[in-house]
Amino acid sequence: MTIFAPLAMRAARMERRLSPRLGLACAALALLMLTSCLGASMDVTMRANGSGRIVVEYRVSEELESLGRFDGNERWHAIPVGRADLERSVARIQGLRIASVSSSAGGGDLVTRATLDFDNPDALLAFLDSTGTRATLAQAGGRNVLRLVVLDPSPPIESAELLSLFREVSAGYEIRFDFRLPRNASIATIPANVPEVRAQANGANVSFAVATGDLPAIADGLVVEITW
């Protein structure tokens, strides 16, 4: 329960100083902060035949992972980590296999790293998005276009103090992916030129990264398109 107490007290103090509308935003942001102490990275290599390899790593604060471990539920992970959780997810995707999984703890974080092999783009898309709506692959003008919905639009948070607090709590965590594709590629974001986003292309390699603490500031949503 060590995360709840300081956030709740700080949110309550700010709520008394802010307007009712911002007070509600403060409470909502406090809840969002409870899931802020995590980061994920993904390194995808795709071959010309559509098969490839995914190396995924995610870091979860040990304090956040321990939430919910009470009332006799100590043996259950509050957040999916480890081989068993990955095996359950991968078993539902045809053409996807686990090559290796490792877990470690250090610096206050639990780190899980896994290597997965996929047989075709459909297996990759299913891993990126189990709903089938947020990751799509299409062809346009003889080129492949991978479209990833990273963030949905949301009401803007107008309080600079709240945004600053979220960035403080989330410091050191980010969402990042790198793609190595069969030929030269480009990357674009919608909206374009979002200051919080780092996106670049170098030949057949493209990368994208955004700090977890910057996500609430992107009110217009975020879509990434990779073309090769």
Higher-pLDDT residue of 203 and 78 is 203
Q: Are residues 2 and 49 in the same domain?
A: no
What pLDDT sits at residue 216?
81
The predicted structure's pLDDT at residue 66: 53
Residues 228 and 134 in one domain: yes
Same-domain check for residues 111 and 134: no
pLDDT in tens, 117-129: 999 999 999 999 9
Per 3-state DSSP, what percentage of the chain is helix, strand, and coil (rounded to 5)? 30, 40, 35
* Residue 94 shares a structural domain with residue 188: no
Report whether the peptide linkage leading into residue 191 is cis, meaning its omega lies within 30 degrees of zero: yes
Q: Do residues 65 and 110 share a domain?
A: yes
Task: Give the per-residue pLDDT at 155.
Answer: 83
Domain membership flag for residue 124: no
Whether the pLDDT of residue 144 is over 90: the answer is yes
Q: Please give the residue range of the domain that contains residue 71.
A: 38-119
What DSSP string runs through 30-69? HHHHTT-SEEEEEEEEE-TTS-EEEEEEEEEEHHHHHTT-
Question: Is the separation of the CB atoms in 201 and 155 below 8 Å?
Answer: no
Flag whether pLDDT at 156 surpasses 70. yes
Establish if 150 belongs to a structural domain: yes
* Residue ending a domain, choose from 119, 138, 166: 119
Q: How far apart are CA 196 and CA 189, in angstroms?
A: 12
The fraction of the chain above a pLDDT of 70, given in percent, is 74
Q: How many domains does the chain have?
A: 3
Confidence at residue 190, expressed as pLDDT on a 0 to 100 scale: 96
> Is there a domain that residue 63 lies in?
yes
Mean pLDDT of 174-185: 95
Cα distance between residue 218 and residue 228, in whole Å: 27
Q: Is 9 exposed, middle or buried (0-12, 13-18, 19+ CB in 10 A)?
A: exposed
Tell whether 183 and 143 lie within a shared domain. Answer: yes
pLDDT of residue 126: 94
Q: Is residue 109 part of a domain?
A: yes
pLDDT of residue 79: 46
Total residue length of the chain: 228
30 and 46 in a single domain? The answer is no
pLDDT, greater one: 8 or 25: 25
Pairing of strands 186-190, 222-227: antiparallel
114 in the same domain as 170 = no
AA identity, residue 1: M
Decide which of 150 and 12 is more confident: 150
Beta bridge partners of 103: 112
What is the reported pLDDT for 185? 98
17 backbone dihedrals φ, ψ, rounded to 5°: -90, -15
Tell me if 186 is assigned to some domain.
Answer: yes
pLDDT digits (tens, 9 = 90+) for 39-89: 889 999 999 999 999 999 988 776 555 544 444 444 434 444 567 778 888
Closest by CA position to 135, among listed 60, 54, 202: 54
Instruction: Match 């998005």 to its residue by tokens.
Output: 129
Query: Does a structural domain hold residue 12?
Result: yes
